[in-house]
């Protein structure tokens, strides 16, 4: 496609050409370019949108995995602290009884 960056930006802004930004890089679906050049409307449910959604889902799954790991660590840490607090209370109670 022999068009200037300014023209492409204008098409993106007007909605004639559809793209999504993934990791700071614009992703323009080939289907969107074909539709624009052939004069038919762009199908926004395919191409770049689908790829963007897949990237988004992968990121959410990865974040979810990390949150589960952190949650498990925090549960273990809480159990350890509660156990230590119980031990400290027992020691304090024994000292007071003496």
Question: Which of 35, 31, 29, 17 has its CA nearest to residue 54?
Answer: 29
Please determine, for residue 76, whether its predicted confidence score (pLDDT) is greater than 70: yes
Pull the structure tokens for residue 92: 């304090």
Separation CA 35–CA 15 (nearest Å): 12
pLDDT in tens, 35-72: 788 877 655 545 556 666 777 788 889 999 999 999 99
Q: What is the CB neighbour count within 10 angstroms for residue 11? A: 19
Q: Specify the pLDDT at position 71.
A: 97
pLDDT at 98: 67
Distance CA 80, CA 54 (A): 39
Distance in angstroms (rounded) separating the CA atoms of residues 3 and 39: 16
The structure's pTM equals 0.44
What residue ranges do the domains of the chain occupy? 5-97
Q: How confident is the prediction for the chain on average, in pLDDT? A: 81
């Amino acid at each position: 496609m022999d068009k200037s960056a300014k023209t492409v930006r204008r098409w993106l802004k007007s909605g004639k050409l559809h793209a999504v930004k993934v990791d700071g890089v614009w992703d323009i679906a080939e289907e969107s370019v074909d539709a624009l050049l052939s004069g038919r409307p762009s199908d926004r449910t395919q191409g770049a949108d689908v790829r963007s959604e897949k990237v988004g889902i992968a990121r959410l799954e990865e974040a979810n995995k990390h949150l589960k790991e952190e949650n498990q660590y925090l549960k273990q840490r809480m159990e350890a602290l509660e156990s230590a607090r119980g031990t400290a209370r027992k020691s304090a109670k024994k000292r007071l009884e003496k």
